[in-house]
């Protein structure tokens, strides 16, 4: 079974530029998560989708970050414009999910390491 795919793996941009990350979850997984992980810290949830609807985006800096999952499968996360403090690894995860709350295990992709100069 294929795992969670993410691209690109690495990205270097200058501050105020834009960047987009792509994620393809495990086939059949209804729930998709985007996390930000700063070095030495645990993952911080940015946004959670169930199918193509947003479940939680309370920690997403909406003035610069946006995310979509139009067909309930792939997802993109965009930052526009980027700031120095956005340098981090952006992890995508998916779980079986479905309606209502679930204790399903989250499976992570390899992440995108973003460096903002």
- In a 10 Å sphere around its CB, with 0-12 CB exposed, 13-18 middle and 19+ buried, how is residue 34 labelled? buried
Measured from the CB atom, is 13 or 55 closer to another protein? 55
User: Phi, psi (5° rounding) for residue 85?
Assistant: -75, -5
CA 67 vs CA 22, 46, 105, 112: distances in Å: 10, 9, 22, 15
Smallest gap, in angstroms, from Cβ of residue 36 to another protein?
A: 11
Smallest gap, in angstroms, from Cβ of residue 67 to another protein?
A: 17
Interface residue list for another protein (CB under 8 A): 4, 40-45, 48, 56, 91, 101-103, 105-111, 113
Smallest gap, in angstroms, from Cβ of residue 45 to another protein?
A: 7
Measured from the CB atom, is 31 or 86 closer to another protein? 31
Residue tagged 């969670």 (tokens): 4
């Amino acid at each position: 079974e294929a795992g969670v795919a993410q691209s690109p793996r690495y990205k270097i941009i200058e501050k105020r530029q834009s960047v987009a990350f792509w994620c393809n979850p495990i086939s059949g997984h209804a729930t998709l998560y985007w996390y930000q992980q700063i070095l030495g810290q645990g993952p911080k949830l940015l946004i959670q989708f169930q199918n193509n609807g947003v479940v939680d985006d309370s920690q997403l800096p909406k003035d610069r970050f946006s995310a979509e999952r139009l067909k309930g499968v792939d997802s993109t996360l965009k930052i526009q414009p980027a700031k120095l403090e956005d340098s981090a690894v952006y992890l995508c995860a998916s779980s079986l999910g479905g309606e209502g709350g679930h204790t399903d295990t989250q499976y992570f992709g390899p992440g995108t390491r973003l460096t903002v100069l």
